[in-house]
Chain A
Amino acid sequence: MNEWRFVVYTTDMYEGMIAETVRVQAEDGVAINAYFARPLGPGPHPGMVLAHHMPGWDEWYRECARKFAHHGYATISPDLYHRIGHASPEDVAAHARSVGGIPDDQAVGDLAASMRYLRSLPNSNGKVGAFGTCSGGRHVVLAASRVEGFDAVVDCWGGRVVMDDSELTENNPVAPIDYTSGLSCPVLGLFGEEDGSPSPEQVAIQEAALKEHGKEYEFHMYAGAGHGFFYYDRAPYRQEQAVDGWQKTFAFLAKHLG
């Protein structure tokens, strides 16, 4: 465990990071854009892959990458909408919505490529986790269930992990819950009681599947919160629940990516 990450910050400490856009070679040969934020220094650093939400590869996710870097993680956030094209994040997200989102296989491939990118760094500690909110929560659960190499996953209110057959599409041909047997790492799940997707009932089904397959997990269901309660710039923000959720996130990652 990197004990330095648990040292209480004092104002005489040096701190630095670098954050920039890089290109990651995806599994289909396309070089996709990614935002890469990592602490300065020799490390070794654990890594984090961030899967952005449905509103796109936006400013919140850049800030989120820097937040993880501040906490000692070499963090990469790939543009999962890269193949859709480039415009403002909201215009790209609107186009993604009009075409039914992105294929699950493609998202899993891009997240796996990002994970391998982090593992290839000379100052990696050999551990890589994944974090995602909204559709990104679903994508990280899917990736960690289908690809070896993730050491911890944080699923924040990932909807449509549990899906009815009527919801399956060409892009989403299999419900992520059906891959639970392949899940290769512990999962932290943060959910809101007032969320409609995933509803508390769907979270219970997801939890039952994890139990059935003997997977390590830690789920927290927050009262007074719905979907997206970390988003300080949106109406669903819930300060108390968000602070607690971030604390649980970093405690979980310290335990598993140490």
Chain B
Amino acid sequence: MCTMIAEKTAVTGCGKGTPGWMQVNQVTVSYDHPSEMTLEHALNIDFVDASQKLGPRIAVELTPESAKRLVELINVALEKGAVVDPVAFE
């Protein structure tokens, strides 16, 4: 199916892809057809620099289970980070 499930938000950060480190200021998270994984659907994450319309893209395609684990790990890391670096989380 073409789910057309895609959520987008602005972010601040950077990522490293084929061209080297680049600014990333937008991320799209979708659950739809992947390009590379041999699955009908995957959790796809695209980090881009939105100022470059079709510029470099840092793309990740994950199984749903892997994506859930990633979310959990991100939350664990953020919780620990808030303990050691509370100012950054204010």
Contacts and interface: CB of A to CB of B under 8 A. Distances in A.
Interface of A: 53-55, 84-87, 90-95, 97-98, 100-101, 134-135, 138, 157, 159-160, 167, 195-198, 226-228, 234-236
8 contacts: A91-B54, A94-B28, A94-B44, A94-B46, A100-B6, A134-B33, A197-B3, A234-B40
Interface of B: 1-4, 6, 8, 26, 28, 30, 32-33, 35, 38-40, 44, 46, 48, 53-54, 57, 59
Contacts of A85: 53-54
Contacts of B4: 97, 100-101, 160, 167
Contact of B35 (A84, A94, A135, A198): A94
Contacts of B35: 55, 90, 93-94
Contacts of B30: 97-98
B32 A54 contact: yes
B54 A87 contact: yes
List of 8 A-B pairs having minimum Cβ-Cβ separation, nearest first: A197-B1, A90-B35, A98-B28, A87-B54, A235-B38, A85-B54, A54-B2, A135-B2
Nearest to B7: A98
A227 B28 contact: no
Nearest to A134: B2
Nearest to B1: A197
Contact of A195 (B1, B33, B39, B44): B1
Contacts of A93: 35
